[in-house]
Every structure is written in structure tokens, then in C-alpha cells.
Structure 1
């Protein structure tokens, strides 16, 4: 667009739309929000080649998609306050947490939204009233269709069973208990300035955990400092961010969270990549005392490959530091990189989250 304004196409209840919107605000990039309906979603899919949200249209008319790729590209190419540490070790740990928060907290965020009756009724009506507003169907019918689709895709097809559900619900509580003492002592995860890890965490915390009735009540009672951080990041001022020092390191009080993410997230990424390499359609692994069966995700094969490439680029001392801080599962990062799937296969269906 000729006036220098970006266009963000998505939904105000979407995990990854919220992540990208917060980053654009913190960077001070002028943008207008375009709430998708079904016709808009199809138009963005035609423009980007991928049916997912959000989609970002540059002032020059270029379409971008996938929040991780967008943030890394804009960080490198668009002027503004840096939102990633310069120190290689801190930068790697920030990117590791961003990936974990994107892909690992995805499951509890969707679980709390669609497994609890009150939350599912509320969010299905909100999706029916926004994304599906251009469909000439009764509201009740649209909401029921949304609820059925979401519970099928994000619960039953994502490995949620009577055996696994308690561990998914518990993960949210564990993460809050690790985050609360950290964010009670400083404004952002790494220090005075937000980094990629903050924006990765924001997607689940802002548009799911702090908004949906059941997890929001837990958040208010169990982790008020995390709740305050959510508002702080949403209200981050580019000038104040630019005046704050970039974090030189990942503080040691993040280690329990890093180790939890490594134990769960890296183990799942490894099982997924191994299954994909063997030509399997289902990955099997044990976590939280229960056995999991998940459809193999080419996108997550690429996530692990990206982390392994970034880990290999670190110096010897930094690699040893990462392994020491993440624990035994960190050895997965040193394994040979699996061949990357085609870019088109990398894209997760992030509709209606």
C-alpha cells in the first residue's frame, strides 16, 4: 500500500494472529487489522498459496505467512527496535523457547478452549459471528458446526484421550508455576526488553489462556505476574523498548522452564522426525507417564531441523552451555538434520484456533 501501512488479516481470537499483532505494535509498524470472513480467508489462501491465518500484506503488495518466518524476516529487513538478543547463546535460547511456545503450548491452549463446555460454547459462537459472518446460515447451526469441527481436529485428532488429557491440562499449570517467579522480578522473560521468546509465549497467553473462561480464571488466581506481563507486552511502546538494553544472556531462573520444554517438546519433535524419516504416518512416544500417538507433522520436522541448524552454528562453549541448561534431551539438537520437507508441507492448519 502506498501509504506505508501493512495489512494484517486474521481473527481477534486467533493464537498466531495475536502473536504477530503484538510484534507489529512493539516494532511500531503502522498496520490496519482486517478481520477475516470465509471469503477473505479464501482470498488470502489464493494470494499466499496456503490456507492459514494470519496473513500479512506488505506496503509493497507482498504477501507473507507463518509467524515465525515473518518475524525473522521483518526483524532483519525492517527498521525498528531489535526484538532478538545479539549474543548467540541468548539468541538461540530465545528461539528455542519461541518454537516451544508456538508448538508445545499449542496443545493445552486448544485443549482448554475446546474440552470445557462453557469455553467451547462461547468460542464457537464467536467464530460463527466473525469468521462465518458471511455465511447465510442460522447462528446456532454455524456455532454447532464450528464446535464439532474444532473438537474433532484439536482434541481427538491431536492425541487427546482420557489417558492423555490430564497431562495436557497439567502442563498449563506447570508452565505458569515456572513463569510466575520469573515475571514477578522483571518486565519480560530475558530482562528489560521483549525478545522472540516473549512473542512466542504471547500467542497462547493472550488469545487463549487470558481470554477463555476456564484458563483465565486459573491465570488470575495462580499467576498474576504472568497476567500482568500479558498486558505489558500488548502495551509495549517502541520508544521505551528501544531505550532498554538488549539482554546479554538468558537468566538462570529460566532453566526450570527450559528443561521442562526440552523434556517434552524436544522429545516430541524427535519422535515426530524419526517417524517421518521412516515413512510412518503416526509418531509414538511416552510423555507424562502416558503413551502418545500423533499424526506426523512435516511442519514440526522443519521446526526441529531449524533448531538443529541454529545449534550447530553456535561455538563450542555455547553448545556445551545449551546442553547443560536444557538437560539430557538437549542431545537431540546435536543429531544429524533430517531432510527438510517441501515448504508447502511445512504449513500447519492454523485456522480457527
Structure 2
């Protein structure tokens, strides 16, 4: 086998993050549609979060960020998504973490809360799952919708706050990205970093694909739509250099500052106290518990900060208004995992599906 086998779904946030990266680095892949039922991967230690990737050597890999870090060991320098500059690399991980751990909440919530999204994505997901589940499609779709809608409370999403997630979390994010990306850029310069693929996964699977969300993107972030299609068709693009860390544009600082509006205050508290409440809008809140996965991710993120910390980095984070969420929490730092040998973390489930 000279191709990567990707076990997941095309309407999956993290599956698309990985397939976008594989396309960018010119690694051939095939999709094996499915969720939760991969006995060989389970035997190897996988605990259920898609995608699972089988390498050409037969190795099982999982957890999207870990997979990309692992594959970076064999990526050519001109296609690397991890900048050599320590400050830029930390910012890439910061935005990767922000996208991965925050925006799947409105992504999943909006898919299963707004009828236009539910009808479209529900049938498309059912169509793929049907390839391995020989049951009537109408029955399977009903089970998919019921299961996913029953999981929304774990994400902090409910009927009372869903609209606020869209207007106060998603729309400002799209507006900030719109100002920064323009018609041809990427987060850290003229080439994509790991965080671009986190953003791509969210958009390709949800925010640009689901009808209600696409209407919002067309209104507030046409540059975000363009960014999605640039990464969907990397063979048509020309790529250039990274930004210089000593001269970051205000537009990037505004993107980083979005993490300080809701996510960083919540994760800083929730990973200490077990849960925290987020005020999305005046009087509209989301109560969200942390998970062992998030606790681990937060410890790794803080370890990355400790390793990369310089006066230059602190000045950038202070400029974005988020320094305290790192500098005041270094006691929670754990260690940065070594992913040269494999990408198989013990836990890759940010939340449990019912």
C-alpha cells in the first residue's frame, strides 16, 4: 500500500483537517467511511475519535494535531507547516488549539440545531455511513440526528444559547479572519501553518459546507471561503515565506485576540475547577465542563509556552490581550509529547458522544 487510509467522514471537522494536510504535502490517501468501529485500531489503543489514519507502513495514527506533528518528520522543508521560528511556531500551536478545542462547539451545535444544516448534513453523513451499515437509510439518519442532538449539552450548546454562539463567537471570528486573510493569505504568511488546517477542517466540514453557516460566511467572511478553497486545491497555489515575528501585522494580533474573548478565560478556569461558565452575550451563558482530553491539551499548550517564552513572545501575547492566560498558569505546564515514533495519544476524545 502506497497510500494513507483515512478512517472518518468527509463531513467531519478533524477528518478534513487531516485530508487537507495530506493534500498539501502531496501524500495520496483514500477515505474509509466510518465512526467508532475499527477493531484493529481499538486493539492498538484508539479510543474512538475520528479520524484514524493507516500509514503506508501499516501504522495506525490518530489525533489530528499529533498526526500532523508526526508526519512533519518526513515532510519536505518547503511544505512544512511548523515554522522554524519559535515565536511563530508557538502562535501556530495557539491558533491550532483555539480552533480545535473551541469552534467544534458551534460547528456541531449549528449542524444539529438549524434545520437547513441538519437536513443536508444528516443525509450526507448517512450516505457515507451506509457503506458499512446495511440498514435502511431513513432509520440510520434518525439515529445519527438523535445521537448528535443528544450530545450538544456536553459542548455547552442548547436552544437558549445557540444563536449567541453564532453571533458572538463564529461571526466575530470570521470577521477577524476576513480582515487578516484577504484574498490570498494564510494565518502566518504566504504559506499555511498547522493552524490553517485546523481552520480549514472546521470550514470545509461545517462552516463553508452547511447551508446556514455558509450564508454567514458569505456575508461576513468571503475571504474565509476563499481560504478554504485555496487549501482544498493546493496544487493550484503558489506559496511564499512566513511572516517575520518581529513585525506581525495588527490583523494577526486581532485574530489571536479572538482566543481571549471566550476560549482562554474558560479553559484557564475549567481545567482547574472542572467546569466554568462563559458569558456569550448579555445574560446568555454556556456552562461547559472540562474533560481529561482538554486538561491534557491545556498542559501541553502551557508546556509549549514555557519552552518558547521570550520577551518578544510575551509582548505579542500582551498586545493581543492574552498573556495572562499563559504567564499566570505555568504551574500547570506538563511536557511536550515526542511524536517522532508514533501519533497515538491515550485519549483523543474531546467529548463523549452519547
Alignment TM-score, normalising by the size of structure 2: 0.87
Question: Residue 120 of structure 1 aligns with which residue?
Answer: 118
Matched, 1:303 2:300: no
2:325 pairs, out of 326, 332, 345, with 332
What secondary structure does 1:60 align onto?
A: coil
Q: How many residue pairs get matched?
A: 339
Question: Residue 279 of structure 1 aligns with which residue?
Answer: none
Q: CA deviation at 1:111?
A: 1.7
1:124–1:174 CA distance, 2 compared to 1 (3 A): same
| 8 Å contact from structure 1 (residues 284, 291) kept in 2 | no
Further displaced range: 135-144 or 77-86: 77-86
Question: Residue 158 of structure 2 aligns with which residue?
Answer: 161
1:91–1:177 CA distance, 2 compared to 1 (3 A): same
CA-based RMSD: 2.6
Question: Residue 338 of structure 2 aligns with which residue?
Answer: none
Question: Residue 245 of structure 1 aligns with which residue?
Answer: 241
Cα separation, 2, equivalents of 1:179 and 1:39: 33
Cα separation, 1, equivalents of 2:230 and 2:72: 21
Q: What 5-or-longer segments of structure 2 have no aligned partner?
A: 336-343
Cα separation, 2, equivalents of 1:174 and 1:184: 15
Q: CA deviation at 1:36?
A: 2.1
1:133–1:182 CA distance, 2 compared to 1 (3 A): same
Question: Residue 203 of structure 1 aligns with which residue?
Answer: 201
Cα separation, 2, equivalents of 1:349 and 1:39: 14
2:223 pairs, out of 222, 225, 228, with 225
Q: CA deviation at 1:157?
A: 2.6
Q: CA deviation at 1:161?
A: 2.9
1:71–1:6 CA distance, 2 compared to 1 (3 A): same
| 8 Å contact from structure 1 (residues 57, 64) kept in 2 | yes
1:7 pairs, out of 5, 14, 17, with 5
Cα separation, 1, equivalents of 2:81 and 2:236: 10
1:216–1:25 CA distance, 2 compared to 1 (3 A): same
Alignment TM-score, normalising by the size of structure 1: 0.87
| 8 Å contact from structure 2 (residues 5, 32) kept in 1 | no
Alignment of 1:1-353 (within 5 A): 1=1, 4-29=2-27, 31-37=28-34, 41-79=38-76, 81-153=79-151, 155-170=152-167, 171-184=169-182, 186-237=184-235, 240-241=238-239, 244-249=240-245, 250-276=248-274, 283-288=275-280, 289=282, 290-327=284-321, 329-334=322-327, 335-338=329-332, 343-348=345-350
1:17–1:188 CA distance, 2 compared to 1 (3 A): same
CA deviation map 1:134-192 (0-9, x unaligned): 33332211111111110111x22322234432321111111111111212264212221
Q: CA deviation at 1:15?
A: 0.7
Further displaced range: 190-199 or 156-165: 156-165
Q: CA deviation at 1:291?
A: 3.7
What secondary structure does 2:112 align onto?
A: helix
CA deviation map 1:198-227 (0-9, x unaligned): 111111111101111111122123321211
Cα separation, 2, equivalents of 1:350 and 1:13: 18
What secondary structure does 1:266 align onto?
A: helix
Q: CA deviation at 1:122?
A: 2.2
| 8 Å contact from structure 2 (residues 49, 348) kept in 1 | no
Further displaced range: 207-216 or 253-262: 253-262
| 8 Å contact from structure 2 (residues 15, 51) kept in 1 | yes
1:317–1:127 CA distance, 2 compared to 1 (3 A): same
1:122–1:208 CA distance, 2 compared to 1 (3 A): same
What secondary structure does 2:83 align onto?
A: coil
Further displaced range: 284-293 or 175-184: 284-293
Q: What 5-or-longer segments of structure 1 have no aligned partner?
A: 277-282
| 8 Å contact from structure 1 (residues 100, 261) kept in 2 | yes
